[in-house]
Structure 1
Amino acid sequence: MRYDYHMHFEKGSYDVDWAKGFFEAAAKRGLTEIGITEHSHTFPEFKQLYYDDLILDESFVGKFQQQWLKKNKFKYTLDEYFEFMEKLKSAGYNAKVGIEVCNFQNQEQVAEILKGYDFDYIIGSIHFIRGWAYDSEEIKAEWDNHTLDEIYEAYTQEIEHMVASGLYDVLGHPYNIRLYRMIPDFDATPYLKRAIAALKKANMCVDVNTGTVYRYPIAEITPYYKFMKLASEAGLPIITSSDAHKPEDCGSYIGDAIDYVKCYGYTQGVTFNKRQRTMVDLD
């Protein structure tokens, strides 16, 4: 089975004619199943959490993020999302209903927001390091203000805090902090082992994500090889995903992702239905 469990409608709208492109791309690439994981910043229910956590001062990071929060954000409610997914299903386009939630500090509030909705699976992802959107090209210069030791420590702390909540099924794109080819000259293994231990305790899966192949300079599958080896040794299950933000990217490099994980002994991945797991053979 080939499947893609991480993608977003945010570049378009809740329009069947636009969204069906994801399903058409999936069919062309031989995918059996897809799952939509709208970003939490799609939904006004999460708005205050962004304003609580992000750097929004008059620094260049803060000014950019002030504007970022005003562009194409918080435009559909969670109810509207579920209604649209039902509309797609009625039109013959069936997908699992997921969500990708950022690493908010107030996980209790996240739990309150999520509890009323019947998701198939929930991805938690580190998108901010101490309030800075580290993957944003426009504020890439902020990397120069931190050592990689500091970044790896802060990123790992964010993982530990988020997954300890017990709210999530999957950790999204682990250690994509390599995305701009910022490669440490130290052994990052202690950080990776801490993250693996936290995931193991939380009974979570790993998102094997090809978005960093075609969207960022590093041009590699995430998580990178050292994390993948440790995840395999720890017996952490996986999903495969493209992190598509446009219809034509759905399923991109999923075959490569399957070949990649097989190098570490994986022959199966996890699918979800109403937060329940099923192991499926990868081919």
Structure 2
Amino acid sequence: MRFDYHMHLEYGSYDEAYAEGFFRAAAERGVYEIGFSEHSHTFPEFEQLYYDDLILDDTFVGSFQRKWLKSNKFKYTLDEYFAFIEKLRRRHKVLAGIEVCNFKDQAAVAKILRDYPFDYVIGSVHFLRGWAYDTGAIKAEWENHPLTDIYEWYTQEVEKLAAAGLYDALGHPFNIRLYRHIPDFDVTPYLERAAKVMKAANMIVDLNTGTYYRYPIEEFSPYPDFMHMARAYDLPIITTSDAHKPEDCARYNEEAVQYAYSFGYREQIRFLGARGRETVALD
């Protein structure tokens, strides 16, 4: 049975005809069940957290990020999101998730999340010291930081997310290779630190195909070194597409399953709603 729990409506709208494309693509690719995981920047409830955390000064990064926050952000409330999911449930089995950025104020995140019936919550590292490192328009900022610092900062953010105890899965783990910055040093200590805290927090690995078809690296996240570590720590997985357009829903799902098999995985997680989960065969 196949699932895809990581996708976004943000490039379209809360329109049933638009959302239907995700279900159609999933069915064409043999995926049984999907869940939307809207970015937290969709919702005005999270707006202040972005303004608190991001670099917003007059530098190259800050100038871009000020504009980014004004572009297609904070356009639907969480109440509107759940009302739309209920409309979709008249015709489909669909789960309501969310992908939350690695905010400093996890107590504020907890306060927002507790008021809504999310079926699952993905926590993802999207900022390093206030810089949206995975954004192509400001990727030149990579040249200003040693890669050892990037790995350290990223790992620290994973540790903070795990310590918060709010998240079911870590989104696209170690996607810091996405612009082909490949380390020439031993990354094992960073990978093991992340795996340890994920294990302690009962967090799932989001085996995400989005970095393959959306970024220059053309590899799945996590890349092989962390997949080996995840398997060694017996971290469970989900296979996802990170679709930002309907036609990308469940994209490369078969390849993701085979990728997981190559590391010894034979099981995956199915979300059951209301933050429940079960382990099922990976097939």
Residue 113 (structure 2) aligns with = 114
Question: Deviations 1:26-84 (Å, cap 9, x if unpaired)?
Answer: 00000011110000000000000000000000001000000000000000000100000
SS at match of 2:112: helix
SS at match of 2:89: helix
SS at match of 1:159: helix
SS at match of 1:21: helix
Question: Deviations 1:158-200 (Å, cap 9, x if unpaired)?
Answer: 1101110000000000000000000000010100000001101
1:82-121 correspondence to structure 2 within 5 Å = 82-90=82-90, 92-121=91-120
Give, in whole Å, the separation in 1 of the partners of 2:179 and 2:29: 28
Q: State the 1:86 CA deviation.
A: 0.3
Unaligned runs of 5+ residues in structure 1 are: none
Residue 59 (structure 2) aligns with = 59
Q: State the 1:11 CA deviation.
A: 0.5
Give, in whole Å, the separation in 2 of the partners of 1:175 and 1:160: 13
1:89 touches 1:95 (CA, 8 Å); kept in 2? yes
Unaligned runs of 5+ residues in structure 2 are: none
CA RMSD of aligned residues (A): 0.6
* % identity of equivalent residues: 64
Q: State the 1:140 CA deviation.
A: 0.7
Residue 126 (structure 2) aligns with = 127
1:220-231 correspondence to structure 2 within 5 Å = 220-231=219-230
Q: State the 1:215 CA deviation.
A: 0.2
Residue 76 (structure 1) aligns with = 76
SS at match of 1:12: coil
Residue 207 (structure 2) aligns with = 208
Residue 22 (structure 1) aligns with = 22
Residue 163 (structure 1) aligns with = 162
Residue 141 (structure 2) aligns with = 142
Letter of the structure 1 residue corresponding to residue 120 of structure 2: Y
Q: State the 1:17 CA deviation.
A: 0.5
Give, in whole Å, the separation in 2 of the partners of 1:53 and 1:41: 13
Give, in whole Å, the separation in 2 of the partners of 1:139 and 1:28: 36
Letter of the structure 2 residue corresponding to residue 193 of structure 1: E
Report the TM-score when normalising by structure 2. 0.99
1:20 touches 1:93 (CA, 8 Å); kept in 2? no
